[in-house]
Amino acid sequence: MQPNSRFKPDIDAAYRQHSDMLYRVALAQLGNDADAQDAVQDVFIRYISHAPIFDSPDHEQAWLLRTAVNRCHDIARRRKIREFLPLEDALGIAAKENSGFSEIAWLLKSLPVKLRETVILHHLEGFSLEQTAEILGIGLSAAKMRISRAREMLKSSLE
C-alpha cells in the first residue's frame, strides 16, 4: 500500500475483525450486555451510513474505537438522565415494599390502552404533555384529554 493511498474498507471484514473488541470496550464502559450490544450496533450503523474512507487499517480501527467510546458516553449520559426499570420489574419491587402500590398498578392496567400509555409516559416516565403528545402522534389537546379521562376513571375506581 502506498503511504498516501486511501481505501474504502469492506464492512463485513471490519465487523468480523473489530466487533468483539468493540463489544469488550463497550461492556467495560457500560457494564451491561444489552447496552454494549446496542453501542456496537450503533457504531456499525454509523459506519455504514457515513461510509468513511480511511488512510490505513489503523485509522479505521481508531475511528471505530472512538465512535464506540463516544456512543458509550451517550448511552451512559442518557442513563443518568433517565434511570428506568421495566414496568413489570418496578411493579414487583414496589409491591413488595408497599402493598398499596400493587393496587395502583392494577388500576393502571384496568385503564384502556390509549389512556394507560398516556398516563405512563406523562406521570411515570416524566415526559411533558408536549413530549407525550409527540411520542404518541397525537395533538396536545388530545393528550390533555386522555390524562383528564384517565384521572377521572382512576378517581371513580378508587371511590
For 11-81, CATH gives 1.10.1740
Altogether, the residues listed in the chain come to a count of: 159
pLDDT tens readout for residues 96-111:
544 554 566 677 778 8
**Is it true that 11-81 and 87-158 share their CATH fold?**
no
Say which residue, 7 or 153, is predicted with more confidence. Answer: 153
- The reported pTM is 0.48
Confidence of residue 126 (pLDDT cuts 50, 70, 90): confident
DSSP string, 61-78: HHHHHHHHHHHHHHHHHH
Query: Domain residue spans in the chain?
Result: 11-81, 87-158
Say which residue, 12 or 159, is predicted with more confidence. Answer: 12
Pick one of 1.10.4030.10, 2.40.360.20, 1.10.10.10, 3.40.605.10 as the CATH number of 87-158: 1.10.10.10
The pLDDT of residue 8 is: 54
Residue 149 confidence (pLDDT) above 80:
yes
Residue 4 confidence (pLDDT) above 80:
no
Burial status of residue 60 (CB atoms within 10 A of its CB: 0-12, 13-18, 19 or more) = buried
Residue 92 confidence (pLDDT) above 90:
no
Please give the average per-residue pLDDT across 42-61, as a whole number: 85
